[in-house]
Amino acid sequence: MSELPQAILLGTPHSGKTSLFNCLTGTNRPVGMTVEEVHEVLHTEQGDVDLIDLPGVYRLGENSPEEALTMHCLTRHSPKLVISVVDSTNLDVQLYLTLQLWHFGWQVLLVLNMADVAMHAGLSFNTRRLEELIGVMVVRTDAFHGQGIRKLRSIIGATCYDKMQTGTIRRPEYGEAVDRIFHLLTHAYESGGFPPHDEPTSYIASRLLEGNSKMIAHFTHHGEKGQRFLRIVNDCRDTLEREFGTTPAELLTDKRYGVIHGLVGEVLSGRASVQDARMMTLALDRLLTHRYFGMLFFVGIMFLIFYISFTLGNPMVEAVQAGFDWLSGQVGPLLSGHPLLQSLVTRGIIGGAGGVVSFVPTIVILFACLSLLESTGYMARAAFLMDRFMHRMGLHGKSFIPMLLGFSCNVPAVLSTRSIESRTDRLATIFVLPLMNCSARLVVFTLIIQALVPPAWRTLTLWGLYILGVAVAVLIARLLKSTIFRGEDELFIMELPSYRLPRWRSYLLSVWEKASGYLKKAATFILFGSILLWVFNTFPLQYNEQGETEVAHPSCYSARVGRIFEPISQFAGMDWQANSAMIGAFSAKELLVTQLCILFKAEPSPAAEQGMSPEQKQAYEEALKKQAIRSHYNIPRALGIMTFALLALPCLGTVAVVLKETGSRLFTILQFLSLNLIGFLAAVLVYQLASLFS
């Protein structure tokens, strides 16, 4: 691919750049997820082109990892064409990045995207006049409806194969005083005898005037000639500050926006309707981002989302699980002559798949609700509201949404961290996400609390577990950000997009991508892990009175491992049965109680269940589980077990997704071992303290 002519797709966030990339290349990359340069082959009539998609940035520089990556790509490659994508409805802000491209002298194609939105807003453009003023060819596109894509593809191909010229960005006029300083600095640099630099001379002068620390440090390493040049730079900066009464960085920014304002004023008409929409957005933001009312609204909308998710999702979850139970019941008799194969298929394969797929309805509803908030522009406000609290935790403002999802399921929570741009903030968030009390743990806690804790203390005990998980997450996050992940604690700067109705095709596609991603990235690993755990909990073989293969029997390998750890785990209130159950909990936390009951011989009696309705059978089995727990454990030991289940042993699905999302085995292993150690130490502390008062 490197032998092909290269075209770089550059644009700001919310400009529709990745949607345009998908239209051109026929790919289906998630929108808003570009965190690295992505290469795809673009087929044109003139020949194939290596099309490069870069992260969305507002300006060229090194103030963020995205800007640094963009500059690294721009200076490393020699593109035939740079395609600058802007949102047609917001030229005042988004042309800033395009204007900076004049330094590099590349051929540039300006793409006014979201033409349909601009048209509905009553905007009209004089593209011919814009081409005259800015110096490059201008194309209008609508990536959502595919308008202008064929013309854009043709221009890219013709330019990359030297069949046409799109032009270069015209040098903006900043005024005589500023232009004189630029000329002085570029002349001093070119006559200074410095070795060649990747960046053009005018851009180097611009960065030096703005006080860029990395560029200044670069010249300090050139000895006396570097110091002489930096003295000239300081003199130029002082001259501009005296003449204009502001810093050179602020002056250059004002000059650029002044040029943009002049451009937009000449080529754009119908701005009154856009101003009305912005006034409406500002009015809504006064309420929805208010320090107190905004927070109340946010809490209310999140409560409604979780209520809808579980109210609508639970019946569907039960229906899906019933379908897998029915399938198991149909397949089981067909394999009755092969008890080992029967157990593998019904308990290992079908049971493992059912445990994963049954959660899909709730996850889809959650994703649908959250994607709706995101597509309307509200989710950016939610992250803004939570930024102050999250920074006190040592995390990024965007870490809040994944942590919120973690109370439902840690797997989609890890997937949702893709919206966090900074890698260190993202890794810190992923590290603490398993500490969020997911719904699978809630099943375990509810059963154990009902079996052992007096009614008056049940609610307090359950809330205490939630608070414990959050508190430990806060402590770990602050520790990580002050040690391993320090140095990249970035400001939470983001554009609050205008409120808008969702584009339903993109919205449904976004929900589908997230839901299918959960199945593709988690289901395969969990299914494979379930089969491994079935082997671990089944061998050596043992059969019950009906001739069925027993799972998690006292002599299986998992039970033997449980006895190995018992001399240590007893300090946390866990015996070998609890240790063995924790192995099953690694696959799915609900298996913890089930395995305990099997080990305690609390299996339902087929004779006793005869004549019972399904509801009576369920109540009977629940009673057996509670009795088994009550007869074997006391409150201190139960608290130790629940503390360990809360803080330790991230489930197999979470571990698999963490490995997939971080791409680091070392990070995944260290996270798993660290959380297990923290969970064990906390369980020891809780058990020992509770034993003193029992």
pLDDT, tens digit, 9 for 90 and up, residues 53-102: 988 888 887 666 677 778 888 888 889 999 999 988 888 888 999 999 99
Beta-ladder partners of 142: 147
What tokens does 146 get? 């595919």
In the chain, ranges of CATH 1.10.287.1770 domains: 176-268
**3-class secondary structure, 7:** strand
**Taking all residues of the chain, what is their mean pLDDT, rounded to a whole number?**
81
* Distance set, CA 615 to CA 177, 545, 608, 625 (Å): 85, 26, 14, 16
How many CB atoms sit inside 10 A of residue 280's CB? 12
For residue range 474-519, what is the model confidence (pLDDT) as tens digits? 899 888 888 887 755 555 555 566 677 776 766 776 677 667 766 6
Question: What gap in Å lies between CA 2 and CA 537, rounded to an integer?
Answer: 51
Q: Which fold has domain 176-268?
A: Helix Hairpins (1.10.287)
Which residues 6+ apart lie within 8 Å of 69 measured at CB?
A: 36, 37, 54, 55
Please report how many Cα atoms fall inside a 13 Å half-sphere around the Cα of residue 616, on the Cβ side.
Answer: 6
Q: What residue type is 283 in one-letter code?
A: A
Lowest mean pLDDT among 43-47, 548-552, 632-636, 669-673: 548-552
User: Are 354 and 321 in contact, with CB atoms under 8 Å apart?
Assistant: yes
User: Are 631 and 600 in contact, with CB atoms under 8 Å apart?
Assistant: yes
pLDDT at residue 641 tops 80: yes
Q: What pLDDT, on the 0 to 100 scale, is given for residue 64?
A: 64
| Mean per-residue pLDDT, 673-691 | 95
What tokens does 485 get? 């992940």
Which residue, 56, 60, 106, 54, is CA-closest to 80?
Answer: 106
pLDDT at residue 601 tops 70: no
More confident: 444 or 616: 444
In the chain, ranges of CATH 3.40.50.300 domains: 6-160
Q: Are strands 137-140 and 108-113 parallel, antiparallel or unpaired?
A: parallel
* Distance set, CA 253 to CA 237, 261, 374 (Å): 14, 12, 30
For residue range 354-399, what is the model confidence (pLDDT) as tens digits? 655 666 777 788 778 877 887 787 877 777 777 767 777 777 667 7
**453 backbone dihedrals φ, ψ, rounded to 5°:** -90, 135
Which residue, 8, 105, 106, 102, is CA-closest to 57?
Answer: 8
* Helix (H) / strand (E) containing 8: strand 6-11
pLDDT category, 273, cuts 50, 70, 90? low
Q: What pLDDT, on the 0 to 100 scale, is given for residue 77?
A: 81
Question: What gap in Å lies between CA 227 and CA 419, rounded to an integer?
Answer: 42
Lowest mean pLDDT among 43-52, 566-575, 656-665: 656-665
For residue range 154-164, what is the model confidence (pLDDT) as tens digits? 999 999 999 99
Q: Which fold has domain 6-160?
A: Rossmann fold (3.40.50)
How many CB atoms sit inside 10 A of residue 37's CB? 17
For residue range 448-457, what is the model confidence (pLDDT) as tens digits? 887 788 888 8
Q: What residue type is 296 in one-letter code?
A: L
pLDDT at residue 237 tops 80: yes
| Mean per-residue pLDDT, 607-627 | 64
Per DSSP, 453 falls in state S
**What's the start-to-end Cα distance of the chain, in Å?**
70
What does pTM read for this prediction?
Answer: 0.60
For residue range 287-304, what is the model confidence (pLDDT) as tens digits? 888 878 888 888 788 778
pLDDT at residue 2 tops 60: no
Please report how many Cα atoms fall inside a 13 Å half-sphere around the Cα of residue 404, on the Cβ side.
Answer: 21
Question: What gap in Å lies between CA 690 and CA 694, rounded to an integer?
Answer: 6
pLDDT category, 419, cuts 50, 70, 90? low
